[in-house]
Amino acid sequence: VADTERLMVDVRRKVQFSFVMLLMFGIFFGLRLTASSELFYNSLIMPVVGIFGYYVFKWKAIYKIPVLLLAVELFIFAFKLWDLDFHSAIIWTLLYAIFVFVGIVIAFLLHYVFGKEKKL
């Protein structure tokens, strides 16, 4: 039984690590689109980031993902990885946080609906 539990813990860690990597990829990819003509895709990418964030952080994603967005945006601004002024970066981060929040709500509702069906 102990080996099975340890195996399940290892699998959960690996799955959570994969979600974190997808989350970071989505954030970097989405922020990179900010300075391009494909900006529209962020309205699809950021809710998906929120969904992955919900499965990694649960309800803590409401504040952790926007903070993570801001940290990545400040990192990008500090190292001049692409050309955006500071005020625009903050405004885009706030807008993306709204899209992320939509994704978190979608993930919660899916989790709640499918969780209810299992209990019936």
57-111 per-position pLDDT tens digit: 988 999 999 999 988 888 887 877 667 677 887 888 899 999 999 999 999 999 9
Q: Which of 114, 102, 118 is nearest to 53 (CA)?
A: 102
Q: Residue 58, exposed/middle/buried by CB under 10 A (0-12, 13-18, 19+)?
A: middle
The verdict on pTM exceeding 0.85 is no
Please give the angle made by the CA atoms of 50, 98 and 53, to the nearest 5 degrees. Answer: 15
Looking at residue 54, its pLDDT comes to: 93
State residue 81's pLDDT score: 67
CB atoms within 10 A of CB 43: 13
Place of tokens 């706030």: 94
> What tens digit of pLDDT does each residue of 73-88 get?
888 878 776 676 778 8
pLDDT at 1: 67
**Phi/psi at 25 (nearest 5 deg)?**
-60, -45
Instruction: Kindly tell me the burial class for residue 52, based on how many C-beta atoms sit within 10 Å of its own C-beta (0-12, 13-18, 19 or more).
Output: buried
